[in-house]
Structure 1
Amino acid sequence: MNATIAMITFRAMLGRKRALLLLALPLLLLVLAIGLKATGNDDLDISATVQQQFGLATLLPLLALIAGTGVIGPEIDDGQIMYVLTKPIPREVIVLTKLAVAIVLTTAFAVVPTLLAGLILTGTTAQLTPAFALGALVGGIAYSAVFVALAVASRNAVTIGLLYALVWETLLGSFAPGAKSASIQQWSLSVIDALTGASPVKSTVDLPLAIALLVVVTLAGTFLAAFRLRTLAVASAD
């Protein structure tokens, strides 16, 4: 971790325009939860649906995409990253710092609102809300690593990330069992399923496999980002 890089990245990410992007979806989720609670639509099934479909399947990947690509992508696009690369800072430290910032932002703007929405709707009944919070946290870490790696590897990271989150996980996942199982969302849901007895929550992936895949994807994304960053440095020197 590098405190200076982290501070500069936080400042850039929490500027007015990006802050509005980060706040819009969480506020919508909380308004939805309050509205459902006020109208009496707050049973366990509805709470599970809101936390899974809106929190885990929509809010989490989109916020992780904004955070993961935003912490480093713009610096690569405008060339400012070369200023950082000229400093005597190991590339691994730069990547880990950027990833840590992305995880903190994803936690603050996706995991915490999902937790609050669950508390508003059903509290801690059947441990559903804590389970979703923990599942969203581990999923957010994996998403962040993947999207940071994409931002370093491609200028089309946002497009690729949207295709993965919205087409592969959401659209194809609804029709193709194979695509559904090969998704961070399902691996996170497996963690949630293991932590709650609520019947609406079911995963298609066994817990040991899901945990292993989450760890592998997180480590692979981090390694790929660090490796690609070294390549950027060599290319600039040439």
Structure 2
Amino acid sequence: MPRSSMTAIGIWRKIIFYFVLITIWELAYRLGVGYLKAWQPDGFPSPIKIMRVFLTLIQDHTLGSAVLTSVIRLAFGFGISLVLGFFLALILLRYKSLQENLSPLLLGLQALPNVTWVPMAIFWFGLGESTILFVVVIGSTFAITLAVESGIKNVKSIYLKAAQTMGSKGLKTYRNVVFPAALPEIIGGLKQGWAFAWRGLIAGEMLTQVNGLGEILVAGRERADINQIIAIMVVIIILGLTVNKLVFERLEANIRYRWGLD
């Protein structure tokens, strides 16, 4: 069967699966609210009501503005994290004493939930953009640092010996051998850092109530509108999956193709 036909069949299977899932969800809502009286209408989300909220947010430009603002914040903060993460990783690899002492600390800091940084950020920067940026950066930098450090440190020694045998030295070895060999693990760290950055962004926007997706979540909570809350959660999931599909999966596919893994 041609690859295009298999792809089309896979897409239709997913569409049918989610259609059935949403239908069951709506039936559960109607059964629980209308017949069994198991919960209140505002205590259980309805897919149809979620879609209505979603369309309303689009029509009044609230959603578009929030998505654009949040994505710009996220891209800017994640860009800073990339620079800091790679810089810290190279410093740790250069100085073994720092690596031995700081790596466990960075691992512990990475384990901290992003939201724990928000009170400190508010204390330092107040309620504003700087607080959100700080939380995004601090939440993703350590994951990137540890991934780059681990990826480069775990490059097989046989690659280095082969490069030295062929006369490769210094930066040339890093550019042509070490960094390409470490890329799969580095990409995994970037994906993890991106996920942490997303969480930090939403946490910062929720607590500072600055314009963005997090602020719309808080507005839904204040109005006791569970459908608005779920609608924004769905938007966040879709954005995350889109970035993963368009950026990270393509990077991984290119790496696998270049190294002959496909």
Interval of TM-score (by shorter of Structure 1 and Structure 2): 0.3 to 0.5
Please give the TM-score of this superposition, normalised by the length of structure 1: 0.34
Please give the TM-score of this superposition, normalised by the length of structure 2: 0.31
